[in-house]
Amino acid sequence: MRTFFDPRQHDHAPAVELHNGAYVPHAEHRGRMENVLATLQQIEAPADAGIEPIRRVHGDDYLAFLQTAHQRWVEAGRIGDAHGYAWPVVGRRPLKLNRIDADLGQFSFDASSPIAAGTWSSSYWGAQSAIAATQAVLDGERAAFALCRPPGHHCGADYLGGYCFLNNAAIAVEAAIAAGKRRVAILDVDYHHGNGTQDIFYERGDVLFVSVHADPVTDYPFFWGHADERGEGAGEGATLNLPLPRGTGLEAYRAALDTGLQAIGDFGADLLCVSFGADTFAGDPISQFALQTADYTPIARSIAQLDLPTAIVMEGGYAVDALGANVAAFLAGFE
Ligand code: Q9C
Ligand code: ZN
């Protein structure tokens, strides 16, 4: 399968993240990509499609913030990587503030996604990988893979979080729509709910968002991903959340997946974007499902049976030594 990755995606290198009250080594690190790259063959660097495809998803204020936040942090005399500590409660009016700490609160929803010197470069090139994989599918590939890092599905049009800065799946979907696709489905199979992707398309009737994930009653991101979130306005019914309990293994996973695949089939999409996280793996250090490496092939085969042109973007997966094998097992289901 054609696979896209740019070496500048390694530039994002935060030292630590706030995890359960302590600063621990940043789980979303370049070693993840190095393990996958060592497993897959024939990686292609993406073309540079520029900023316009990114602006179809993200606001200009947010993009300006992302590009300058780390520099502003340094200029404020801070050491280490930038992250917020104060947030506007939902419903507070948007304000144009100057202090870096205020903007970090304005444009993020958690304290676990530090911005480092290379964050913009990596995010930009990760998004270009997603655009390139989408273009490959538009050009006739049955499926293509964007090895995105950083991941994307937790960030919204104007906020970062969950190690995510640019929403690669949403950028891919908007690129497909700009190229003439009319109805696009997103299937999010990361362990965590893809809250950013859901928010971006929540009121859209032409983009179906289906997510199979850990129940947000027990798991991050807590405030999204509950089964009664079904879209609004023109998007009413075009969001489908399928939360599952901790400990879920292949059998229960496939039952939920089949429900999601049925909805995608009924929707009549002309392109599919898969947000693939391998943090559903039994050995994942921050997640609690029980899938095995061999399980990813039949899961992907079921998705491939939709028979839709499919752009696959990488999301999470933190069992680094097994990540390449898990990705390869998933991609094999499309061959
Ligand atoms: N225990 C993705 O898989 N962890 N993001 C919060 C507190 C955030 C995971 C830390 C996990 C985000 C793309
Ligand atoms: Zn995840």
Would you call 172 helix, strand, or coil by DSSP? helix
Determine the distance separating the centroid of ligand 1 and the alpha carbon of 305, expressed in angstroms. 30
Q: What is the pLDDT of residues 110-161, one digit of tens each?
A: 999 999 999 999 999 999 999 999 999 999 999 999 999 999 999 999 999 9
Percent of the chain with pLDDT over 90: 97
Mean pLDDT of all residues in 254-260: 98
Mean pLDDT of all residues in 47-57: 98
Long-range contacts of 60-69 (CB under 8 A, 24+ apart): 61/158, 62/107, 62/157, 62/158, 62/159, 65/103, 65/106, 65/107, 66/107, 66/115, 66/119, 66/120, 66/123, 66/160, 66/165, 66/166, 67/120, 69/100, 69/103, 69/104, 69/107, 69/115, 69/119
Q: Is the pLDDT of residue 176 over 90?
A: yes
Annotated catalytic residue, options 12, 70, 153, 154: 154
pLDDT class for 198, splitting at 50, 70, 90? very high
In angstroms, what CA-CA distances link 166 with 120, 198, 200, 244, 287?
9, 14, 12, 26, 22
pLDDT class for 220, splitting at 50, 70, 90? very high
Residues with CB under 6 A from ligand 1: 19-20, 112, 151, 154, 162-164, 190, 192, 220, 277, 279, 315-316
Determine the distance separating the centroid of ligand 2 and the alpha carbon of 308, expressed in angstroms. 24
Please check whether residue 130 is in contact with residue 169, taking contact to mean a CB–CB distance below 8 angstroms: yes
Please check whether residue 297 is in contact with residue 332, taking contact to mean a CB–CB distance below 8 angstroms: yes
Whether 83 is a known active-site residue: answer no
Determine the distance separating the centroid of ligand 1 and the alpha carbon of 266, expressed in angstroms. 32
Q: What per-residue confidence (pLDDT) applies to 90?
A: 84
Please check whether residue 183 is in contact with residue 318, taking contact to mean a CB–CB distance below 8 angstroms: no
Mean pLDDT of all residues in 248-273: 98
Question: Residue 47: how many CB atoms within 10 A of its CB?
Answer: 11
Mutate to test the pocket of ligand 1, among 17, 108, 163, 189 (most ligand atoms within 8 A of CB): 163
Cα(125)–Cα(16) distance, rounded to whole angstroms?
22
Cα(126)–Cα(109) distance, rounded to whole angstroms?
21
Please give the DSSP secondary-structure letter assigned to residue 158. T
Cα(47)–Cα(132) distance, rounded to whole angstroms?
7
| Mean of the per-residue pLDDT values of the chain | 98
Q: Please give all residues whose CB falls under 5 A of ion ligand 2, grouped by chain where several chains appear.
A: 190-192, 277, 279, 316
Q: Is the pLDDT of residue 188 over 90?
A: yes
Q: Is the pLDDT of residue 94 over 90?
A: no
Determine the distance separating the centroid of ligand 2 and the alpha carbon of 176, expressed in angstroms. 24
Q: Is the pLDDT of residue 230 over 90?
A: yes
In whole angstroms, what separates CA 108 from the centre of its chain?
15
pTM, two decimal places: 0.98
Ligand nearest to the CA of 149: 1
Q: What is the pLDDT of residues 240-254, one digit of tens each?
A: 999 999 999 999 999
Please check whether residue 201 is in contact with residue 176, taking contact to mean a CB–CB distance below 8 angstroms: no
Q: Is the pLDDT of residue 91 over 90?
A: no
Cα(311)–Cα(274) distance, rounded to whole angstroms?
6
Query: What is the third-level CATH fold of 2-332?
Result: Arginase; Chain A (3.40.800)
